[in-house]
Structure 1
């Protein structure tokens, strides 16, 4: 069987059958990642709790804890997956890919600004003041860097990439989007609608962006800029999380338009604009004939 060029990893032909199924198969690698991430996450959480007992808490404490118990385990899990299990150099994180992060930052800022601009034109978004003392650094570390890098590693680098290898691009888009939406279901103010919106507008968009570019830094940059601009620049809750923004703002109108307490991500405006971007990426993928069929249909 010839390897599909767009796939980062294909099990070597000489791999023993037991290893092919218990270590190298898509399901096995996803299970390995889930178990390792949980172990590292719990261990980091216990270590941080032990080290910080009795210490005075600062405004930066929650951000640093998040980076230690969420971001670091995600990075270590992916490093183990790529270097130990798959035994390859991660082309999706190669040095030549990192300039993509700047392009992603620009695209994410522009896309979120377009959402806010449409909400303003429709009379839903209102600026009521300016807050130069907004606590932007924790937001940058958590909603920007932490979520942008950590979530993209887990949902695109692990889930989408590995499911695509086994079940093909269409299944990978559907499964990774559903899991991405479900992961936000426990956030403050979350509803079935907000979870579905996250899955459709962000899950599909990030999955298609990774499929077309094969660049995790590009997805990380867009994700980080979207979150940071939404909360810290425009003062809108980020996936239900309270925002401390430079712009003090309110949103009015029905929840389907404003997004309600969950934020602009639950607005049909964000849904429509992100779907347009996803449609453009899908058209590009179809023109390139890059959609990966399921493993049993590949020669």
Structure 2
């Protein structure tokens, strides 16, 4: 039986840039809905609503990939999803904990317990904010953008473009500078892209991204310049190249170097995996 050739509209929809843009627009709409609704709910209700809408964003991603791109979705396979997410969480937590410890040892940070802090409320808020950012941003940047560009120009070009875009995306944050955007490009864009290319699934990248943001927020360190009411009051001492200045940990040269130290072995393994 002869296969029917796709018509012009189908070819346009299957073109990587088309499904990348359609998918990104749909997921950003879900994110907008999330922001509006969670502002009206507090506590556990807000966390549950964030989780529900994050799952909705994943379903939207799958729908776009199946109906528009008409391609399989191995990057969101349910097989080993939990294991991959936990691996990512452990990797992200170690990355942030070691970066913070090095800066403390170099005299860049000092921590004091925030007496008025409500640990339960702080942890819930940290988890909620980190969860939505990790899922939405990984679906858009690594799921849609990286894979679309990879299909057109290969892995290295896709990694470079998505990393630069991810850095530029954070230029509007409080305390952002050209240096902080470059730092995000290297430590986050490259690391998260390497995580995806190595593990070939979004669960690992989401877990890494989640633990990164959640731990920073829980400690009271600004997350990409956004202030965090954490368990501690953090005082930055010394040069901005060490502490990250107003932008926080992600503007530190320590985090950039450590991020690359973790990313490079991932990229080597990803290259070896390539058929």
Residues 129 and 248, structure 1, Cα contact 8 Å, conserved in 2: yes
User: Is residue 2:207 matched to residue 1:217?
Assistant: no
Corresponding residue for 1:33?
23
CA offsets 1:49-76 (integer angstroms, 9 cap, x no match) = 9xx8xxxx56549956994998466434
Residue 264 (structure 1) shift: 0.3
Aligned to 1:237: 222
In structure 2, the partner of 1:205 is 191
1:265 paired residue among 238, 250, 270: 250
Once structures 1 and 2 are overlaid, which stretch shifts more, 210-219 or 132-141? 132-141
| C-alpha spacing 1:192/1:164, structure 2 compared with 1 (3 Å) | same
d(CA) in 1 for partners of 2:30, 2:211: 27
> Aligned equivalents of 1:276 and 1:240: distance in 2?
23
1:90 aligns with 2:34: no
**Aligned-pair Cα RMSD in Å:** 2.9
Is there any run of 5+ residues in structure 2 with no aligned partner, and where?
none
What secondary structure is seen at the aligned counterpart in 1 of 2:79? helix
- Say which of 260, 266, 274 aligns to 2:259: 274
The runs of 5 or more residues in structure 1 that have no matched partner are: 1-12, 292-299
Q: More deviation in 168-177 or 65-74?
A: 65-74
The superposition leaves residues 158-195 of structure 1 with CA deviations (integer Å, 9 ceiling, x where unpaired) of 11112111111011101111121122111111111111
Residues 190 and 100 (structure 1), Cα distance of their counterparts in 2 relative to 1, 3 Å cut: same
Q: What's the offset of the Cα at 1:249?
A: 2.1
In 1, the alpha carbon distance for the partners of 2:133 and 2:150 equals 23
Retained in 2: the 8 A contact 1:205–1:274?
Answer: yes
Q: TM-score, normalised by structure 2?
A: 0.86
Distance 1:130 1:223 in 2: 25
Q: Alpha-carbon deviation of 1:285?
A: 2.7
Question: 2:151 maps to which residue?
Answer: 165
Residue of structure 2 equivalent to 1:111 = 95
- Larger helix percent: 2
Asked if 2 retains the 8 angstrom alpha-carbon contact of 1:136 and 1:244, the reply is no
Change (3 A) 1:101 1:48: closer
Counterpart CA distance in 2 for 1:46 and 1:246 is 24
Deviations 1:119-161 (A, max 9, x none): 011111112225552422122111x211111111111111111
1:198-229 residue CA offsets vs partner (Å, 9 max, x unmatched)? 11110011111101111111011110001111
**Taking structure 1 as reference, are residues 168 and 257 closer, same or farther at Cα in structure 2, changes over 3 Å only?**
same
- Distance in 1, matches of 2:30 and 2:243, equals 38
Confirm or deny that 1:128 pairs with 2:112: yes
Query: For residues 45-101 of structure 1, what are the alpha-carbon distances to aligned partners after superposition, in whole Å with 9 as ceiling and x for unaligned?
Result: 79849xx8xxxx565499569949984664343122122223455221112231110
What is the match of residue 270 of structure 2?
Answer: 285
Taking structure 1 as the reference length, the TM-score comes to 0.80
| Pairing partner for 1:249 from 234, 243, 247 | 234
From the superposition, tell whether residues 60 and 182 of structure 1 become closer, same or farther in structure 2 (CA, over 3 Å). farther
Question: Residue 69 and residue 163 in structure 1: after superposition, are their counterparts in 2 closer, same or farther (change >3 A)?
Answer: farther
Residues 14 and 203 (structure 1), Cα distance of their counterparts in 2 relative to 1, 3 Å cut: farther
**Structure 1 position 185 matched with structure 2 position 168:** no
